[in-house]
Amino acid sequence: MTDKKTATPTTKPAETGSSRRRFLGTAAGGVAGAAALAAPMISVAQSPIVLKMQGAWGAKDIFNEMAEQYVQKVNEMAGGRLRIDYLVAGSVVKPFEVMDATSKGVIDACHTVAVYWYGKSKVASLFGSGPINGCDANQMLAWIHREGSPFFDELVKKLGLDVVAFWAMPMPTQPLGWFKKPIKGAADLKGFKYRTVGLAADLMQEMGMKVTQLPGGEIVPAMERGVIDAFEYNNPTSDRRFGAQDVAKYYYMGSYHQAMEFFEMDFNKKKYDALPKELQAILKYAAEAASTSNYALAMDQYSTDLQELKNKDKVNVIRTPKDVFEAQLVAWDKIVKRMTAEDPFFAKVWASQQAWAKRVGYYAYFNGADNQLAYEHLYGKLGF
């Protein structure tokens, strides 16, 4: 008899052991399954997609550092799935050839400026050195992002260039440049053998200069040989690094000839289209991030090197005479009138830029603080 105070067993002892074993086996399987679900997926290592990008810049140029800032951002964000290998100018093709080389697939990508290939169409220069429209580079990079990119895409399609472009670095106004002897005004510029690029070449020719277009690395040798006797390149750091101070001692700051410019990162379109969407997005948004780091580097280094040019290299740093600016405006009016009459597409892009600049400039100049007044209050008169 079973004691009434004790529950009647429902299973036999042998059955209990069997059930326990089944339960433990099932539980262990469940724990293993849960652990497998919780553990990170371990993928088989794959080789990254590698893109070869060549810059248009000489080995010492600060622009290589700016290109490398872009490349670093892409490589870090891509997490091993994509890698850009960066090459300096001349590694595969010459600086002025990187756009064609990218389009043809000789290289996968390039870091350049529109004025280095504007010989294909002067409209290209409107995305770099061209427009004198009352806006600065920051405001016109905003135009590219908001309105200009479809025009660029239309341009490269018209030219048969198989590229996708992203934009970075609203470059500060470029100096009028380096002269072996001082100038007093616009009349003194006539007859100078001068280096510049893009529509700036048309502008300075209109003012009576004899213009030669050269990549940065060829400028100082051309000065030494007498091929040119004055030049501009871009900024105090680039100029100082390639030895401008050794061939000229008069450095004129400020000009309309290249009041704005931007880097373009061009990718072969077939290569770009073959990438997964998330990697395409990394290439795009890394350009926007590089814009910030490029500009920060520029503000720090350009200002430092300008002081070095003055104080250490004994360069005469001079503000460009006002009548040079006035003469550039008159020359630009003639150029843009001629270009818009000759090329409807030029006229269409220029009209978009004018409408943008008129609206954005109105806001900027009505609202902007007088920073020069504040500077002179704190640090004294600039002396020009």
- The ranges assigned to domains in the chain are 49-171+261-299
pLDDT score recorded for residue 45: 54
315 neighbors 239 (Cβ within 8 angstroms)? no
The CATH number corresponding to 49-171+261-299 among 3.40.50.720, 2.160.10.10, 3.40.190.170, 3.40.50.740 equals 3.40.190.170
pLDDT score recorded for residue 3: 40
CA 332/CA 144 separation, integer angstroms: 21
The whole model's pTM is what? Answer: 0.86
Tens of pLDDT along the chain (384 residues) come to 444 333 333 343 444 444 444 433 444 444 444 444 444 444 445 789 999 999 999 999 999 999 999 999 999 999 999 999 999 999 999 999 999 999 999 999 999 999 999 999 999 999 988 789 999 999 999 999 999 999 999 999 999 999 999 999 999 999 999 999 999 999 999 999 999 998 999 999 999 999 999 988 899 999 999 999 999 999 999 999 999 999 999 999 999 999 899 999 999 999 999 999 999 999 999 999 999 999 999 999 999 999 999 999 999 999 999 999 999 999 999 999 999 999 999 999 999 999 999 999 999 999 999 999 999 999 999 987
Beta-bridge partner residues of 70: none
Any idea which residue has 């849960």 for tokens? 34
Residue partners of 372: CB distance under 8 A and separation at least 6:
382
Q: With the C-alpha atoms ordered 325, 131, 233, 138, is the resulting torsion angle positive or negative?
A: positive
